[in-house]
Amino acid sequence: MERDFLPISRPDMKHRGWEQCDFVYVIGDAYVDHPTFGHAIISRVLEDAGYKVGIISQPDWKDPESILALGEPRLAFLVMGGNMDSMVNHYSVSKRRRKTDAFTPGGVIGKRPDHAAVVYCNLIRRTFPHKPVIVGGIEASLRRLAHYDYWSDSLKRSLLLDSQADLLLYGMGERSIVEVAEALDSGLDISDITYIRGSVYKTRSLESVYDALTLPSYEALCADQKTYAQSFYKQYCNTDPFIAKRLAEPYEKEGCWVVQNPPQEPLTTEEMDHVYALPYMRTYHPSYEKAGGVPAIEEVKFSLTSNRGCFGGCSFCALTFHQGRIVQTRSHEAIIDEAKEVIQDPDFKGYIHDVGGPTANFRHPSCQKQLTKGVCPNRQCLFPTPCKNLQVDHRDYLELLRKLRALPGVKKVFIRSGIRFDYLLCDKDDTFLKEMVKHHISGQLKVAPEHVADPVLKMMGKPPNAVYQKFIAKYQRLNEKLGMKQYVVPYLMSSHPGSTLKEAVKLAEYLRDLGYMPEQVQDFYPTPSTISTVMYYTGLDPRTMEPVYVPTNPHEKAMQRALIQYRDPKNYALVREALEKAGRQDLIGFGKECLIRPYPPKKDAGKPGKQENGKTAVKALSRKGGKTQGKPTPRRSRPGERRENSRPRRKKR
């Protein structure tokens, strides 16, 4: 049969000659058959294993009939809330409802419920009380055990219990979903499938679980935040497939245990190649054309996934819990074959938008021992300083980029998914950096220092500011040597645990000296299952159990964010209040070191065509020696993260 989308209706099933699906996959996103969408990978992997899979996309959760679109599956229902946690998808960090949803046809908001994975599973359970329900995806993966929920400001139970699902699959589920399918197909009852790596199940007794590490009960976690911080760190230290122990979390009120099996081992290069070579349609279902398509495809349509996993270990990133710290890569041949397919797309204009993954310049594990002994449970590869065993080598990635540049029809190959500048500085060979500057930047290099105050960077798990400054100096020298005028766009974060008004003012002073006001600022967003979120909830660093200052008051958070964009006239009152509270009235005045003037800007300032201090914004930037200009293009988000956009108008002072 020629390549086609999987069935989304009874007529589609009939066209394929199916009377019944083996699996019905209920998803919170629009159906996009592209390998950057989790539902596309899982459904194609099952199809490749010989199973019939149908898709129900964004069912009406208020109507039980909506779950009957494809009938009852032979083996089980699969459920995924979406490529992004549904709460992050719906709400900004200020808990305001977003206006658009890039994963929905036409970008329409409200086509999925809050806590989508839980709601969909309960919808299925009401209609098919005895049919196995298996939940997965990032929403389930990051909520697999008791977790802090920012939106309700409470500690929630394992999603497995709230959803009434029979089994939860976490992490990248290509192996585990096939193992579950084979077990069900052999006649095994879903309650007996308790042995699969990368799965979480519930049980009334631990008699058959002989090797589990017992965590504190859910009731104990709710009673004491310190206990929760300690429990989370045990989970964090058991995310490696080679050394992780089985975890058991008791729920006394329910009289049951939630048991997490160790993670699946990382895919080999051959397995990764096979997964990405499956017959994806590489676009959204044609039924969405009338609505204007699915906006999320635009960011990835002409991008290539080179790797998965990340040993960067940022405190605010959920990758450790979801993809793990061991980097897995695809072969050059597989990526080149996919690139050739991309080139044939009628909409391709010669530009490959990205070749990367969570971190673009990670193309191999950080050290050889990881593939047999796993990652160190209590030490990071790059933080606080690079490990002595760290293997730094960009040659493989550089060779891949050269091959892609040489393909007929390719004008430019960009790197947009972000690089680790601290890792790059560890490379004594500057060849990769030189070629990146010369061939793979569209005038602006996006990097993520996140902050400039070392106390905050320490909480973030990021290198000291001196490392970032060293990279900037090297980048600028290289641009001058090559005769190129390219800039750095720094991604910055406000209100992260550890950041007081003092650190926020320091960041504002740095931006003043740089001559730049960022158009994108991310206020720290406490998403499930990150070290930073535990700090936010408990006021403790779970790694050391030491107290951490946490800006939780909305007004203080607004002041910290306003300081980063202190030039925006609408932020004047907040900036002034912040400077006064921080005892930095010296930054209010007319001197060149001042952030704001003693009086508010005029009401008619900032209209189109106005200039700032007699100079246009770009000229002012150049005069001040700034090394950043223009409107940055958003990079791919990490799992569970969504950056906030702000495009203030400059006003005359």
Residue extents of the structural domains in the chain: 10-202, 302-442, 444-653
Write the CB contacts of 447 (distance below 8 Å, at least 6 apart in sequence).
Answer: 418, 419, 421, 468, 471, 488, 489, 490, 491
Q: Name the strand (E) or helix (H) holding 516.
A: none
DSSP 8-state assignment for residue 243 = T
Q: How far apart are CA 88 and CA 258, in angstroms?
A: 25
Q: Which is it for strands 23-27 and 53-57: parallel, antiparallel or unpaired? A: parallel
- Which band of pLDDT confidence, cut at 50, 70 and 90, is reported for residue 602? confident
In this structure, which amino acid lies at residue 231? S
Question: Quick check: 632 pLDDT over 60?
Answer: no
Q: How far apart are CA 17 and CA 24, in angstroms?
A: 16
DSSP 8-state assignment for residue 274 = H
Q: How far apart are CA 533 and CA 520, in angstroms?
A: 21
* Helix/strand/coil percent split, the chain, to 5: 35, 15, 50
Question: Quick check: 400 pLDDT over 70?
Answer: yes
* The two structure tokens encoding residue 273: 């190649």
Q: Note the pLDDT of residue 617.
A: 32
- Which band of pLDDT confidence, cut at 50, 70 and 90, is reported for residue 611? very low
Topology of domain 302-442 in CATH is Transcription Regulator spoIIAA (3.30.750)
**In contact, 83 and 296? CB cutoff 8 Å:** yes
pTM (two decimals): 0.90
Alpha carbon distances (Å) from 417 to 212, 269, 596, 629, 638:
38, 20, 35, 19, 9
- Listed residue (550, 607, 10, 56) closest to 285, CA to CA: 56
Q: Which is it for strands 76-80 and 328-329: parallel, antiparallel or unpaired? A: unpaired
- Listed residue (90, 244, 80) closest to 170, CA to CA: 80
444-653 CATH choice from 3.40.50.1000, 3.40.50.10440, 3.30.750.200, 3.40.50.2000: 3.30.750.200
Map 325-336 to HEC letters.
CCCEECCHHHHH
Q: Note the pLDDT of residue 622.
A: 33
Does this chain's domain 302-442 share its CATH topology with 444-653? yes
**337 φ/ψ angles, rounded to the nearest 5 degrees:** -60, -40
3-state secondary structure of 401: helix
3-state secondary structure of 112: coil
Average pLDDT, the chain: 90
Q: How many C-alpha atoms does 454 have within 13 Å on its Cβ side?
A: 7
* pLDDT tens digits for range 481-509: 999 989 888 899 999 999 999 999 999 99
Question: Quick check: 631 pLDDT over 50?
Answer: no
CATH of domain 10-202: 3.40.50.280
* pLDDT tens digits for range 262-301: 999 999 999 999 999 999 999 999 999 999 999 999 989 9
* pLDDT tens digits for range 73-99: 999 999 999 999 999 999 999 999 999
Q: How far apart are CA 542 and CA 265, in angstroms?
A: 26
* pLDDT tens digits for range 517-571: 887 778 999 999 999 999 999 999 999 999 999 999 999 999 999 999 999 999 9
The answer to which of 439-453, 499-513, 637-651 has the lowest mean pLDDT is 637-651
Question: Quick check: 607 pLDDT over 70?
Answer: no
Q: What angle do CA 384, 528, 377 make, to 5 degrees?
A: 40
Alpha carbon distances (Å) from 35 to 45, 80, 248:
11, 15, 33
* The two structure tokens encoding residue 170: 């976490």
Q: What are residue 259's DSSP bridge partners? A: 201, 248
